[in-house]
Structure 1
Amino acid sequence: MARLLTLGFWNTLASIILRNRLIILIGIIGITVFLGFQWKNMRLSFSEANMLPYDHPVNVEYQKFLDKFGEEGNLIVLAVKDSSLFTPKNFKAWNDLNASFKQYEEIDLVISIGDLKKLKKEQNPQRFELIPFLEDTVFSKQQIEGYKDELFNKLPFYEGLVYSPNSKTIQSALYLKKDIVNTSKRKKFIENTLTPRILEFEDKTGMDVKVSGMPYIRTLNSQGIMDEIEIFILAALLVTSLIFFLFFRSFRATFISMTAVIIGVMWAFGILGLLEYEITVLTAIIPPLVIVIGIPNCIFLINKYQQEIKKHGNKAKSLQRVITKVGNATLMTNITTASGFATFALTESKLLKEFGIVASINIVALFILCLLVITIIYSYMPQPKERHLKHLGKSWVEKLVDWMERMVKNERIAIYSISIIILIVSIIGIYTIRVSGSLLEDMPKSAGFFKDIEFFEDEFDGIMPLEILIDTKRKKGVLKLSTLKRMNELEEVLEEIPELSKPISIVNLVKYAKQTFYNGNPKYYQLPTSQERNFILPYAKSFENEAGVMQSYVDSTGQYARITVFMKDIGTEKMEKIEEALAPKLEKLFPKERYDVSFTGKALIFQKGTNYLVWNLTFSLGLAIILIAIFMAWMFRSVKMIIISLIPNLLPLLMTAGLMGYLEVPIKPSTILVFSVAFGISVDDTIHFLAKYRQELKANHWRIRKSVFAALKETGLSMFYTSTVLFFGFSVFMISSFGGTKALGGLVSTTLLFAMLSNLLLLPSLLLSLERSIANKKTLREPAIQIAPSDDELLEEDSKKKQ
């Protein structure tokens, strides 16, 4: 009864589609136009993707920091490592460049040689005065040498801030206004003002200016993502259409398929705009993903249409059979693929949730689109000619399928042996995989801004801000000498860690005050003693409201202090080791009953977020496997069939994981995404094969051997076609300059290729070997839904219609 109801439903649906072709086409055009208007709501993400939930303890601590000190990722740094900078012409040009940025409303503060202040002790009344470091605007060679000597040898306060002590690199800091850091104004300023001014300076002086800082990196990185979307879409269309044409040798079939997937891409952009989701590194791959997943739908539908035409030559019946016989099976495979993506929506990561929602909606919408567009356009076109059907009998494809049959028939021991060897070798490789929380690892290594990042890591020990928030639990507790000494001891510990830069805090200013009190002698750049503090205090009081940038290192109540260090892109593993090593020292320096000390900042947020995201992706993969296993059991009414359906799909995943270990590809968001994507797609082949096998079992009176080979012959061609398209389609992502996208493309392609071989060799071998215990009539009871009706059932339905 369930079978007939399902068959009746699809027959009714086929009649509705073919009788209302024009209305449906108008509806598709209307939806496309509506979604096209939603493109205006698409926007690039201007903030870092926070991979942690809002209520995660690390996020809560970071929000606490922001409430006290505001946005900390607003620094852009410029640097020059060139001895010719210290010539009158170039020195003035450098100062003029930095001074010019002050006129722009986007800039909050500029710190460069031209803006430096130095403390001067005055006696009557006792006070510290801030005086300009540069006394003139026109410089002689002798003056510049004097400034250079004073800066590098007498002002340790500015070490790591304005100059690198090792190579004498000069650095300037531009602080963007905090309220524009995560808006489009940041992008406009960098593209329309900062970059042109720097290029003009380089042309004028012949010096190379290095630029970095989180706002700058994010802007160029985001623009790279946008630029690649267009390249991916064009490359995916070109590759898939070329392969499709080579298989079908038909411009008409290729044109129809491309029409369907191009509309699908337009819908993908429209859905992103409709939901008002930002374009991130994940959502950016959805449009080309639509093309790669959509073409296999087209292959199954068009291949079946041409097979029916070749069989009986009736176009109307062929189109109806396409909907009735292939529509249900293709729907099931698309649902399993969509389910794999939908599991991302169940995670607590906003980044993954949005990707999962948009991807799953688009995959289901794409199935409907392909089914409607292909059947309706073919209904208006002339019947395919003999030359359009030649590909159905290609000798080389037949030879490939014959080889698979021989392997399954005669070499099952070899197939099992190779599978076991792959499994063992893969497990060994899995143990060597490392987890990476590197912010820079996925960025394009050939990009100019990446080379600049490496420069700042070498010269200034990094550009990623790591913050230490100290709560003294009492007002003005930061300025107590005991607290300052504890902070100083912590900074000395931090300076010993090679991956971290020189710390910046209120301690630096207090040390500079003592140096100034002793007439600028650099050897007194240290914290005052209790006795010295009493002498220095009258001078320091006059300076409390003039500290400039250093005021941002103590909050207005004096209860909270921050220590800022910049860190190299060291990844999760090293960062965790540093945290573990610092924990006992922090506990000793800052007793918990008197102080609360916590690590925070964008660098830590990203690395903790990576660990969290990896866990969420692992959870979503496990959930996808469970859901699809339940789905398979429901479809075939057999829990035992889960074993047969999962083994050929899990083995390629394990093989890919092992390969990652041997190739030293780390586990990170982009690479662990591979497993969920590949599993959701590869299981489609299993469904197609088992659906046809179930059908052949009944037609052949439960003769298992005959049914296995009949199913292999029938589905082998389509599975080979679709897997080839998927392999080359995902390979398109390997042209990306982003390491994560490149790894995603290469690993998914590899996984799907082995999944095809596994489904065409290992799956039928298992069915034959386990025929008595699993693959028999008792096990394969009546399915809950009819996936692919047999020809006899279709004839029976046709005869009922005629009556």
Structure 2
Amino acid sequence: MIEGLHKFRFWLLGLVLVVCALLWPGVRAAVQVDNSLEAWFLEGDASLQAYRDFQQRFGNDEVMVVVVHDEQSVLTPEYFQRFRRLSQALERIPAVAGVIGPGNAMVPQRAALGSSAQPLLKANTKPAEVRQLLAKHTVLREQLFSPDYRTARLLVQLRQLPDFDAQRGNIVAEVQRTVYAHVPRAHAYLGGVGVIYAGLNALSQQDFGFFLGLGYLLMFAVFALLYRNGWLLLYVLGIVGLATYVTLGVYGALGHRLNLMTVLLPVVLILLGFMDAMHVINERNLVAAPGMSRQASALQALCNTFSPCLATMLTTVAGFLALVTSPMAILQNFGLFAALGIVLCLGFTFLLGVLILPLTQPAPRATRATSSALARLYEIILSRKGAFTAASAALVLLAAAGTTLLRADTYTLGYFPRNHAVVHDHHAMEQIWGPYMPLELLVEAKPGHQLTDAAVVQAAAAFADSARTLPGVGRVFGFQSLYQAGLETHFPGKGRAALLSQSLLRKVHEQLTADYPQLAAQYLHVPSQTGRITVSGAMLSARQLTAKTDTLLRMARNTLGAVAAVRPAGYQPMYARIVQYVTTSQTNSLLLSAFMVFGLVWLYVRSFRLALLTVVPNLFPVLVLLGVMGWFGIALDTATASIGAIVLGLCVDDTVHYIHHYRQARLGGQSPHQARLSTITHVGPTIVLTSIILFAGYAVMGFGSLKTVELFGVLTAVSVAAALFGEIIIFPLVLERFDRVPKRQVA
């Protein structure tokens, strides 16, 4: 195999370069970010279908909330002019479907039903006139102003565009520029789902890219210091670079774009690319003998490491392919293309090995110095194995206790730095306006009822009253609010009581659909007899949002259950479902991959006993990772759930090399003690040096300002350290305790 690669190495290199050229368009397409729902969910997913059904009925539910505040009052001629001009400017933005705010609010004149409406703010409107007018329209006032009239709110409704998710960042930026052009920045605040996720996407791309790049730079710098050989540096760079390039090229050519999960593909590939390369490099340093040519030592090292590297590739690929069982498209793609990249890492490790390694001289200094240190450490471990065993057991118990505290949740706003503009505006809006994040509920009239039935409308009004009593709930507005507002025009102060009249309800419904078709369409879908109720609440974590939704649904059953069915809709329940899917899928796939990896290791070493013993060092760092997350209150979410699979891939790589050399030593006639010593001095240097490089690279990500970047870097670095402890300390102790069989039984 290796001789064939060496013979055709230039032809194969030429083929690789041609493939890279052909994949360039795919790479360019792949590096564009796409966090759309289609990227997360499978096409037939019931949640995605329900969300699309909601959008078909009521349009895009993503609304930007603009709050304008003044310590004195916003009821001044100056603010009236600003509101009118701001509404007009926002409505001219192509992506904006409509604006609901003081600047364009229409107030029905008190006359017979079907009368025309007048603008709330005209060119010469006086503040006293606005107060007097809104005193008669309490529902309208509640939506536009705070009770003290120091704060006004505008709702910017966005269009349902085919590529809305890709354009979200630009749309949010354009709305922000428009708002600040008409209202001073110190008096205007923006919020909403779109604002939060646009800010998170922008910051994650910037922060993750910078710190990941800095981490990679540090890794290669440490590698260069350890080996002091430019050709070896080129070797490692070539493996990681080519594997990443080709993987992204295929990924983009198949129509995929990077998202919050697949942006981790380079992380996976640099981990495993580094490890395979360093196993080859250190093997070459150990097999090189005086008088042996550079080519001979290089090819011998490649031959010696091919079998264990192939086994590690298969076990790691199996682990990531377990993600294909996930019900989410984003996890399936992550597992599939991570597996592709790992296969490519193996291929480029040996192709570039036959090309570059014969050009270099062996550099045994770092390898042999580390080997000698590990031999001394091993003797210390054996002389104090009771203390090391107790320390290891204590770590296992401590980590296991931490896992009992682990919870699955996410709080998106918590990912931002505390001084970020999105966080500042959010807190300011909650303080001066109140809870504003929308949770959508759909009210579907049961057979025999219509939305205009007095029983349905009154039940909806009763539900809204109950919802307002919940902690963290602010304004509640829905189809019943439109009916009440229409009735208040003719019965000031008695609009709620007028909801009892079936004839009045039907007349006001006709007026709404005729005079305010756009507004009515946002809360009423006549063909399906479905109404919409928006509950404004505090920004919650996914777990809290689920609990709040369950409480609201119980209230809805008590008030509306006899006449209508109520279900959550819109984006927020979808996000809670994403977290549920991710954490469940990662947990299930981690268990499945562990079984698959164990089975493949068993087949490779052909010894159930040895395969069973490898479970301990493989699962120890995963246990430490989960334990640290539990003790420090770090939730399992979209940012952290993928680390377990990455860590398992990291551990399996080292374990397979370790057990391969140990088994060869035992079959070669060495005693268990001799086999352990020769293995730890032969394979150990690679494990130690790789861990140093990877720890340095990922620890630097802990300085990121974005919480996702910080957590990913710190937790990966902790896992690398735990994996090193498992391989160098725990695994030899396990082998010393449980593998004392004669050499003939090893096979």
- Which bracket does the TM-score occupy, shorter chain normalised? over 0.9
Letter in structure 2 aligned against 1:133: L
Instruction: Specify which of 377, 381, 398 is matched with residue 404 of structure 1.
Output: 377
Letter in structure 1 aligned against 2:361: P
Q: Does 1:172 align with 2:160?
A: no
Q: Does 1:612 align with 2:566?
A: no
Partners of 1:45 and 1:222 within 8 A in 2: no
SS of corresponding position for 2:327: coil
Counterpart in the other structure of 2:175: 194
Separation of aligned partners in 2, 1:759 and 1:256: 26
TM-score, normalised to structure 1's length?
A: 0.86
Q: Does 1:639 align with 2:608?
A: yes
| Deviation string, structure 1 residues 335-371 (Cα, Å, up to 9, x no partner) | 3223222211221111111111111111111221122
TM-score, normalised to structure 2's length?
A: 0.92
Letter in structure 1 aligned against 2:689: Y
| Deviation string, structure 1 residues 146-171 (Cα, Å, up to 9, x no partner) | 43x34775543235532344783222
| Deviation string, structure 1 residues 58-95 (Cα, Å, up to 9, x no partner) | 4454344334323322x122222224755544542343
Number of positions where the alignment pairs a residue of Structure 1 with one of Structure 2? 744
Matches within 5 A, 1:722-737: 722-737=690-705
Instruction: Specify which of 767, 774, 777 is matched with residue 743 of structure 2.
Output: 777
Structure 2: unaligned runs, 5 residues or longer = none
Counterpart in the other structure of 2:11: 23
Counterpart in the other structure of 2:320: 341
Counterpart in the other structure of 1:103: 92
Counterpart in the other structure of 1:313: 292
Partners of 2:477 and 2:535 within 8 A in 1: yes
Matches within 5 A, 1:253-272: 253-272=232-251
Residues 166, 300 of structure 1: alpha-carbon distance in 2 compared, 3 angstrom cutoff: farther
Instruction: Specify which of 367, 373, 391 is matched with residue 392 of structure 1.
Output: 367
Residues 367, 166 of structure 1: alpha-carbon distance in 2 compared, 3 angstrom cutoff: farther
Separation of aligned partners in 1, 2:250 and 2:419: 33
Deviation at 1:613, TM superposition (A): 1.9
Counterpart in the other structure of 1:786: none
Letter in structure 2 aligned against 1:391: A
SS of corresponding position for 2:607: coil
Partners of 1:554 and 1:560 within 8 A in 2: yes
Letter in structure 2 aligned against 1:329: P
Separation of aligned partners in 1, 2:109 and 2:98: 22
| Deviation string, structure 1 residues 694-713 (Cα, Å, up to 9, x no partner) | 111122x2411111111111
Q: Does 1:157 align with 2:139?
A: yes
Structure 1: unaligned runs, 5 residues or longer = 1-12, 782-803
Percent identity (aligned): 17
Deviation at 1:551, TM superposition (A): 3.1
Instruction: Specify which of 579, 591, 609 is matched with residue 622 of structure 1.
Output: 591
Separation of aligned partners in 1, 2:302 and 2:146: 70
Residues 680, 516 of structure 1: alpha-carbon distance in 2 compared, 3 angstrom cutoff: same
Letter in structure 2 aligned against 1:477: Q
Partners of 2:75 and 2:149 within 8 A in 1: no
Instruction: Specify which of 657, 666, 681 is matched with residue 626 of structure 2.
Output: 657
Q: Does 1:247 align with 2:229?
A: no
Letter in structure 2 aligned against 1:714: H
Q: Does 1:528 align with 2:515?
A: no
Matches within 5 A, 1:144-543: 144=127, 146-147=129-130, 149-150=131-132, 153-159=135-141, 161-165=143-147, 168-180=150-162, 182-191=164-173, 193-201=174-182, 205=184, 207-228=186-207, 230-379=209-358, 381=359, 383-384=360-361, 388-394=363-369, 397-398=370-371, 400-474=373-447, 477-518=450-491, 521=492, 523-528=493-498, 530=500, 534=503, 541-543=510-512
Deviation at 1:324, TM superposition (A): 0.5
| Deviation string, structure 1 residues 178-204 (Cα, Å, up to 9, x no partner) | 12562544444444x3343344345xx
Letter in structure 2 aligned against 1:500: V
Matches within 5 A, 1:50-199: 51=40, 53-73=42-62, 75-83=63-71, 85-123=74-112, 126-136=113-123, 143-144=126-127, 146-147=129-130, 149-150=131-132, 153-159=135-141, 161-165=143-147, 168-180=150-162, 182-191=164-173, 193-199=174-180
Separation of aligned partners in 1, 2:439 and 2:508: 32
Separation of aligned partners in 2, 1:357 and 1:215: 30
| Deviation string, structure 1 residues 265-287 (Cα, Å, up to 9, x no partner) | 32233132122212111111212
Separation of aligned partners in 1, 2:254 and 2:389: 48
Letter in structure 1 aligned against 2:612: I
Letter in structure 1 aligned against 2:383: N
Q: Does 1:758 align with 2:730?
A: no
Residues 291, 568 of structure 1: alpha-carbon distance in 2 compared, 3 angstrom cutoff: same
Letter in structure 2 aligned against 1:600: A
SS of corresponding position for 2:489: helix
Residues 196, 576 of structure 1: alpha-carbon distance in 2 compared, 3 angstrom cutoff: closer
Counterpart in the other structure of 1:799: none
Counterpart in the other structure of 2:522: 552
- Comparing 273-282 with 471-480, which one deviates more in the overlay? 471-480
- Comparing 541-550 with 747-756, which one deviates more in the overlay? 541-550
SS of corresponding position for 2:155: strand
Counterpart in the other structure of 2:651: 682
Letter in structure 1 aligned against 2:743: K
Instruction: Specify which of 655, 663, 677 is matched with residue 709 of structure 1.
Output: 677
Deviation at 1:461, TM superposition (A): 4.6
Partners of 2:2 and 2:303 within 8 A in 1: yes
Partners of 2:179 and 2:188 within 8 A in 1: yes
